[in-house]
């Protein structure tokens, strides 16, 4: 499990972050958990993020490290107002700690609510980042809305099982949509975050940076912890910002299942980790 997840506790996330930062990488930390079903769980998640941000600040790991947040872990499913208030508290703490928050994208039933909350949060915390998924048919239009000054937008392919009515099903269509969205983001005035391990899309990202005259500080690459670590370091050595998405916590099941669905070869790591649990 340690190949993909820092460990169970804040200290594990901190130790891993320190190593990644020493290697010239930036980090976004995710406290694992989603689909929270009661207010106590939502509060506990908020408190964990507040603790994490204090710890990152004290360890002088900000702004190299920021946090990624799933609104469903803050109670979005049962009370949007509560989730919003918790997200606000986390954004305020991140600002105090000198860093940023990015709102993860979850399944398509949450997209409108997440983008609405993002817009409200950005009014007070303008650096709050969005995530968009190229498999969704709506995403190119969302990118047009989001490609504005000050806006940070992570573009990924999307990791949930979605119906054909809302999402492209063929890999090729998802990839083509990714390139269209990338064009919109790279030609706009926001800060694109190119989240993929796909060598072709990484190369297209580098290419678009040249087309649209973006210097390496005007966009970044992002990859998951444990996935193509050599490529992460290669890109960083070329002078690009490469941010590693680093999960920690005990609620790893849903996260690992999505990694397995993407790449059955991850099964070997998963089986080994389960045996050692
Ligand atoms: P894909 O899985 O299609 O693979 C394309 C190619 O990349 C492969 O053919 C191979 O060449 C290479 N590759 C992929 N995995 C590899 C591996 N393990 N080893 C070697 N080569 C490999 N999703 C979501 O729905 N909401 C979110 O908020 C986020 N957030 C997020 C943050 C970050 C930083 C990343 C990188 C990804 C996400 N995702 C996500 C997940 C994302 O949507 C997607 O499911 C995965 O990144 C897998 O898609 P790829 O773009 O890597 O390509």
Q: What is the pLDDT of residues 113-171, one digit of tens each?
A: 999 999 999 999 999 999 999 999 999 999 999 999 999 999 999 999 999 999 999 99
Backbone angles phi, psi at 246, to 5 degrees: -115, 105
Gap between the Cα atoms of 99 and 113, Å rounded? 24
Q: Tens digits of per-residue pLDDT, 218-254?
A: 999 999 999 999 999 999 999 999 999 999 999 888 8
Residue 127, Cβ neighbours under 10 Å: how many? 19
Weakest-pLDDT range from 79-83, 96-100, 255-259: 255-259
Q: Which of 122, 152, 154, 208 is catalytic?
A: 154
As a whole number, the mean pLDDT across the chain is 94
- Of the chain, the end-to-end C-alpha distance in Å amounts to 9
Gap between the Cα atoms of 184 and 200, Å rounded? 18
**259 annotated among ligand-binding-site residues:** yes
> How many angstroms from the chain centroid is the CA of residue 246?
9
Q: Does domain 10-276 have CATH number 3.20.20.220?
A: yes
Strand partners of residue 68: 30, 102
Is beta strand 220-224 parallel, antiparallel or unpaired with respect to 152-156?
A: unpaired
The set of protein residues with a Cβ atom below 6 angstroms from ligand 1 is 104-105, 131, 133, 156-160, 195-199, 222-224, 227-228, 245, 262-263
**Encoding tokens for residue 57?**
């600040």
Mutate to test the pocket of ligand 1, among 153, 156, 158 (most ligand atoms within 8 A of CB): 156
Exposure b/e, 207-236, CB count within 10 A at least 16 = b: ebbeeeebeeeebbbbbbbbbbbeebeebb
The H or E element that residue 16 is part of is helix 10-22
The ranges assigned to domains in the chain are 10-276
Gap between the Cα atoms of 26 and 60, Å rounded? 13
Gap between the Cα atoms of 85 and 71, Å rounded? 11
* pLDDT for res 277: 46
Exposure b/e, 72-91, CB count within 10 A at least 16 = b: bbbbbbebbebbbebbbebb
Residue 38, Cβ neighbours under 10 Å: how many? 11
Q: Which of 104, 142, 152, 175 is catalytic?
A: 104
The Å distance, Cα 172 to ligand 1 centre, comes to: 14
* pLDDT for res 256: 84
Mean pLDDT for the stretch of residues 19-33: 97
Question: How much of the chain, in percent, has pLDDT values that exceed 90?
Answer: 87
Weakest-pLDDT range from 9-23, 31-45, 108-122, 158-172: 31-45
Mutate to test the pocket of ligand 1, among 157, 194, 269 (most ligand atoms within 8 A of CB): 157
* pLDDT for res 251: 87
Gap between the Cα atoms of 20 and 13, Å rounded? 10
Residue 115, Cβ neighbours under 10 Å: how many? 18
Residue 47, Cβ neighbours under 10 Å: how many? 13
200 is catalytic: no
Q: Omega into 242 within 30° of 0, i.e. cis?
A: no
Query: Is the distance from CB of 146 to CB of 103 less than 8 angstroms?
Result: no
104 is catalytic: yes
């Amino acid at each position: 499990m340690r190949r993909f997840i820092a460990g169970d506790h804040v200290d594990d996330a901190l130790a891993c972050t320190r190593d990644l930062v020493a290697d010239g990488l930036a980090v976004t930390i995710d406290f694992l958990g989603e689909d929270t079903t009661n207010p106590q769980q939502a509060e506990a998640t908020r408190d964990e993020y507040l603790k994490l941000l204090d710890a990152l600040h004290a360890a002088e790991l900000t702004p190299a490290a920021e946090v990624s947040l799933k609104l469903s872990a803050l109670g979005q499913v049962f009370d949007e107002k509560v989730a919003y208030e918790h997200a606000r508290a986390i954004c305020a703490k991140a600002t105090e700690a000198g860093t940023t928050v990015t709102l993860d994208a979850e399944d398509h039933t949450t997209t409108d609510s997440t983008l609405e909350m993002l817009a409200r949060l950005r009014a007070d915390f303008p650096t709050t980042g969005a995530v968009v998924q190229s498999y969704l048919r709506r995403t190119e239009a969302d990118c047009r809305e989001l490609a504005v000054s000050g806006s940070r937008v992570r573009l990924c392919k999307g990791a949930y099982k979605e119906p054909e009515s809302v999402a492209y099903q063929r890999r090729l269509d998802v990839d083509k949509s990714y390139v269209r969205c990338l064009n919109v983001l790279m030609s706009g005035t926001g800060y694109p975050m190119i989240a993929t391990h796909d060598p072709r899309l990484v190369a297209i990202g580098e290419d678009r940076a040249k087309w649209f005259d973006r210097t390496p500080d005007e966009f970044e690459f992002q990859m998951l912890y444990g996935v193509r670590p050599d490529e992460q370091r290669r890109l960083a050595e070329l002078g690009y910002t490469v941010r590693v998405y680093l999960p920690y916590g005990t609620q790893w099941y849903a996260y690992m299942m999505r990694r397995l669905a993407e790449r059955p070869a991850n099964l070997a790591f998963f089986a080994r980790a389960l045996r050692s649990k």
